[in-house]
Structure 1
Amino acid sequence: MPDKPRSYKAAGVDVDAGYAVVEKIKKHAASTHVPGALGNLGSFACFFQPDLKNFKEPVLVASNDGVGTKVKLAVALDKHDTVGIDLVAMSVNDLICSGAVPLFFLDYIAVHKVKPEQVEQIVAGIAEGCRQSGCALIGGETAEMNDLYQPGDYDLAGFAVGIVDKANILNVERVKVGDVVIGLPSSGLHSNGYSLARKVLGEADYAEMLTPTKIYVQEILGYLKSGVEIHSIANITGGSFYEKLARAIPTKVNAVLDPQGWQPPPLFKKIQEVGQIEPKEMYSAFNMGIGMCLIVPPSEASKIQGRVIGKITEGNKTVLIEGIG
């Protein structure tokens, strides 16, 4: 009969490695400091004091997400900083759809075995994503679970909180027949559709597929602060156009997209051809080169650095893609 473990480390959990991680990541968290981030004043929680003087009716907005099977690529290439950027992007890009300014971010990293250098890479990417979006990385958690995850595996979850004045919340009811859909280009696959993309392409295109998700926060905040009239925004992630753009329109209209309005990057064409994937499935699983859709009055279209890719018509809350369905 095997000897029973007589310590936490013998059971597979190295608390000393966890302590080493904390020391390594302090500098990365510090690099994201913004006014209001008070640091870790207590032992078990993090603190943020928002400046509310410019808000009449401040509303906190929260979002959480992960990176999905994109982490499999990071493990295969032993490159872990870009998925940290993805982790932040997935949450703050959702926050900005409501018009909220991101305030702070927390991460959760679950691993088979804590490798301080690997976790530091991940957190360095998270810090970069926070800097890009203007929010503070105020805390997080790393959990070692060697009996739950396979050797080399890990998973990520992120949590973002933002703020917006109640009167400025972007509401789908603002959308009107005659509005246009502006597409902002993506940086690639972002963080969705990877289970399918990996099966189609294999490891040959892993490096390209590891390109981090574009963070749109500062761009869209710039439009809002300059007075551009934006009625609604859709973050094109899982479910792509058919599901995510449908969330951004009210019940009595349709969003009709013209796929001739933009040219998807070559990677999408390669996935479709190699995998022999039907067009509608492509527009359901992938962003096809459009990371964010802004619905605006036609008069505002020229003020936004994007392409007009569709229009709002009378309907029943359906997304239609011309020539595809």
Structure 2
Amino acid sequence: MPDAKAPAKQSPKPQPAPATYADAGVDITGGDRAKQRIRYLAQRTFGKQVLSEIGGFGGLYRLDTARFTSPVLVSSADGVGTKLKIAFEMGVHHTVGCDLVNHCVNDIAIQGATPLFFLDYLATGRLDEGVIEKVVTGLADACRANGCALIGGETAQMPGFYTDGEYDLAGFIVGVVDKEKLITGAKIKAGDVLIGFPSTGLHSNGYSLARKLFFEVAGYKPDQYVTELKDKAGAALMKVHRSYLPVIKKLTASDYTTGMAHITGGGITENLPRILPKNISAIIETGSWPIPPIFEHLRELGNISQEEMLRTFNLGIGLIAVVPADRFTRAKAMLDRAGEKFFVIGRASKGDRKVIYS
């Protein structure tokens, strides 16, 4: 009987090269360098209440209980939205950080809160250290201007999730107010005066429609000068969301307001009712303030109805403060002395928590 043949030896399969996180598009070394720069920028916003350094698992902040004897913490979270698309195209990244901080500051300041600290979330595809630094510089500058600390955040590299060159940006803020100084709108009554403070443009809202009208319908390029705006298209859209903290402090220090509304997405129509008592409506006098050219141009480009404009854009009013009628003269004198521009845009009346345009 013939011998059985021995099985042929198989060549070993070649081993793949050792995989690294960088192969998947995550640059750990670059991320570490970016964090070092972020640490420096954030530390410039610190005060004695900050007890931690950037890089820990949690930011530590000591509440000043001598200053706030019955403290109520007020918080808010938000994002920049599709305004970022214009930032990507123009290569302008330092202002979006300011947009985010100021938006969040306004949201808590209208309830009487003093901003304490801010955290950000920045997610991108492939890390661009220069872009990250510009964004965080804007965050830090706005935090310093508003007197709050940038105590932490997250920079996430997510290749394959975001297109190269793009990122998303969101933030979270915490402030404090003594309970007896909390402003909720509960004391608003019929006859109170509504005063509006000018916006600096679209702020951070309505950009999906604005981008469509400017860049698709009108066919503008970001660097194209638009006669109707007396500005370039991109520059007009990228104007920084204004912080109203200085004027809010003036109003609250003298107890001149019983309610304030930050006019963001939804316009006056959707935001003002959020502070009205159930038995109160707001009468808004259209034409009582000048509407900036950018809104009129958007209206023309899209043939947009007045109702749609009022519930999409701020139309030039970024903050509304409700002033009791018997304090209005003193409030007006104070604002005039301070050089604060404002418009009397309506009054509170009996109703069912709606905005009525007259």
| TM-score with structure 2 setting the length | 0.86
Structure 2 SS opposite 1:271: helix
Q: Would the aligned equivalents of 1:84 and 1:122 in 2 still touch at CA under 8 Å?
A: yes
Aligned to 1:223: 251
Aligned to 1:187: 200
User: Partner amino acid for 2:250?
Assistant: G
User: Partner amino acid for 1:251?
Assistant: K
Aligned to 2:10: none
Structure 2 distance, partners of 1:48, 1:78, is 34
Residues 1:21 and 2:66 aligned together: no
Structure 2 SS opposite 1:261: coil
User: Which of residues 230, 235, 242 is equivalent to 1:214?
Assistant: 242
Structure 2 distance, partners of 1:165, 1:313, is 29
Trace 1:11-50 onto structure 2 (pairs within 5 A).
11-40=24-53, 43-50=56-63
Report deviation, 1:152. Answer: 1.5
Of the two, which has the highest radius of gyration? 2
Structure 1 distance, partners of 2:239, 2:40, is 24
User: Which of residues 305, 320, 324 is equivalent to 2:356?
Assistant: 320
Q: Identical aligned pairs, as a percentage?
A: 42
Structure 1 distance, partners of 2:252, 2:212, is 40
Q: Residues 53 and 263 of structure 1: is their aligned pair in 2 closer, same or farther, counting only changes over 3 Å? A: same
Per-residue CA shift, 1:163-183, capped at 9, x if unaligned? 000111102211000001110
Structure 2 distance, partners of 1:55, 1:38, is 18
Structure 2 distance, partners of 1:255, 1:273, is 28
Q: CA RMSD in A?
A: 1.5
Report deviation, 1:41. Answer: 7.7
Q: Which runs of 5+ in 1 are unaligned?
A: none
User: Partner amino acid for 1:113?
Assistant: R
Q: Which runs of 5+ in 2 are unaligned?
A: 1-15, 216-220, 223-232
Structure 2 SS opposite 1:174: coil
Structure 1 distance, partners of 2:67, 2:56, is 31
Residues 1:113 and 2:126 aligned together: yes
Structure 2 distance, partners of 1:191, 1:130, is 17
Displaced runs of 4+ in structure 1, greater than 6 A?
A: none
Report deviation, 1:42. Answer: 7.3
Q: Residues 16 and 250 of structure 1: is their aligned pair in 2 closer, same or farther, counting only changes over 3 Å? A: same
Per-residue CA shift, 1:62-116, capped at 9, x if unaligned? 1110000000011000110100001101211100111000000000000011111
Q: Would the aligned equivalents of 2:54 and 2:151 in 1 still touch at CA under 8 Å?
A: no
Greater alpha carbon shift after TM alignment, 134-143 vs 204-213 = 204-213
Aligned to 1:143: 156
User: Partner amino acid for 1:44?
Assistant: F
Q: Residues 250 and 118 of structure 1: is their aligned pair in 2 closer, same or farther, counting only changes over 3 Å? A: same
Q: Would the aligned equivalents of 1:132 and 1:215 in 2 still touch at CA under 8 Å?
A: no
Aligned to 1:257: 284
Residues 1:294 and 2:321 aligned together: yes
Structure 1 distance, partners of 2:287, 2:111, is 28
Q: Would the aligned equivalents of 1:41 and 1:47 in 2 still touch at CA under 8 Å?
A: no
Structure 2 distance, partners of 1:39, 1:56, is 24
| TM-score with structure 1 setting the length | 0.95
Residues 1:132 and 2:145 aligned together: yes
Greater alpha carbon shift after TM alignment, 262-271 vs 195-204 = 195-204
Structure 2 distance, partners of 1:110, 1:4, is 29
Structure 2 distance, partners of 1:235, 1:39, is 32
Aligned to 1:308: 344
User: Partner amino acid for 2:88?
Assistant: V
